[in-house]
Amino acid sequence: MNNVLEVKGLEVVYSTNRGDVQAVRGIDLDVHRGEILGIAGESGSGKSTLAVALLRLLKAPGKVTGGSVMFHPAGRSPVDLLKVHGEELRVLRWSALSYLPQGSMSSLNPVMRVEEQFKDVILEHAPARRDSLGELIPRLLGQVGLEPRVGRMYPHELSGGMKQRVLMAIAVALEPDLVIADEPTTALDVTIQRVILQSLADLRTDFGVTLMVISHDMGVHAQLADRVAVMYEGRLVEVGDVRQVFKDPQDPYTRQLIESIPRLGRKAS
């Protein structure tokens, strides 16, 4: 099976007291093993809701009202992500399906050292690695360009870019099949953004993970993605190879999106 994830007819609504608001409207999407898939769209397009639904982190008043999400972790039997619950879901998490949140959000526990936040997830899913932790954590940190001593630090002692890198290292700690990254470069300074984008590309090379990168920034997709899916008002309007999407957009909305990118009169090196 070459697909890690097969989304079919996914529907998500948010119930409000003025009726239901449909945030995701019947999405069909395959994620190929080993690729970097970009999900593009403006704010309110439903791309973050899609990510949250796939990660099974959707909270009330949001609710999945239809569709299936077949997940094919290596060495395990395929499951419908929307139908697993409790312990089964918990075991699947991180070792197979992992999450890279926005670094500027407070995703790291403020009162735990960085290394503790590696340890708890590793020990939860791979207790056999207890003895190798002392070597594993510095190696993971090194992979994203951080020194070992960062492990001894607390989140408030790190800059936004460093936090993002720590989150990246934790995300791949158990070599998951799929990492869903939600706006991984947003709210970072441009110079840091570039470093983060480079490290994300490295993750695929070094760990062979499949990455699904959600971003409103078309520049991110142009630099990083193999394929791009464009969302608009809860629908997928276009999915295709990154070159095709940028050079020859099929959907008028995609075209508009690409045209609205502010351009500098200077070519990036």
Partner 1 sequence: MTAEAPPAVAVDKSQDSAPVSGVRAWLSRHPLAAYAIRRFGLYLIELWGALTIAFFFFRLMPGDPIQTLIQTLQQNYIYNAQASAEIIARYKHEFGLDGNLLTQYLVYMQKLILHGDLGPSLINYPTPAQTVILRSLPWTIGLLGISAVMAWILGVVIGAIAGWRRGKLGSAIATNLSIALSHVPYFFVALILVYVFAYSMGLLPARSAYDSNINPGISFAFIGSVLKYGLLPGLSIVIIGTFSWILSTRMLMIPILGEDYLVYAEAKGLKNSRILTRYALRNCYLPQITAFGISLGFIFNGNVLVEQLFSYPGLGTTLVTAIQQLDFNTILGVTDIAIFSVLTAVLLLDLLLPLLDPRVKYWK
Partner 2 sequence: MKSELELRGVQQRFHARGVADGYVTAVDDVSFKLLASPPQIVSLVGQSGSGKSTIARNVLGLQKPTAGSVLYGGKDIFKLSRSEYDAYRRDVQPVFQDPYAIFNPFYRVDRVLWKAVKKFKLASTREAGLKLIEESLQAVRLEPENVLGRYPHQLSGGQRQRIMLARVHMLRPSFIIADEPVSMLDAQVRKHFLDILLDFQREHGMTTLFITHDLSTVYYLGGEVMVITKGQIVERGPVATVMHEPTHPYTKLLLDSIPSPDPDQRWTTRIQVDELERLDDNTPADTTKPEAPVL
Applying CB under 8 A, the residues found at the interface with partner 1 are 55, 57, 89-95, 98-99, 101, 105-113, 120-121, 124-125, 154, 156
Among residues 95 and 215, whose Cβ is nearest to partner 2?
215
Q: How many CA atoms lie within 13 A of 142 on its CB side?
A: 6
Residue among 53, 58, 162, 237 that touches partner 2 (CB under 8 A):
162
CA distance 76 to 241: 29
- Which residues between 44 and 103 bind partner 2 (CB under 8 A)? none
Among residues 124 and 233, whose Cβ is nearest to partner 2?
233
Q: Residue 83: exposed, middle, or buried by beta-carbon count in 10 A (0-12, 13-18, 19+)?
A: exposed
For the chain, the distance separating the N- and C-terminal CA atoms, rounded to the nearest angstrom, is: 38
The listed partner (partner 2, partner 1, none) that binds 205, CB under 5 to 8 Å by sort, is: none
Q: Would you count residue 161 as binding partner 2 (CB under 8 A)?
A: yes
Tokens at residue 172, please?
């791949």
Tokens at residue 14, please?
């948010």
CA distance 245 to 227: 8
DSSP-assigned letter for residue 226: S
Tokens at residue 123, please?
């020990």
Residues 208-247, mask of contacts with partner 2 (x by CB under 8 A)? ---------xxxx-xx------------------xx--xx
Among residues 29 and 166, whose Cβ is nearest to partner 1?
166
User: Which positions touch partner 2 (CB under 8 A)?
Assistant: 42-43, 104, 146-147, 149, 153, 156-162, 187, 189-195, 197-198, 217-220, 222-223, 242-243, 246-247, 258, 260-269
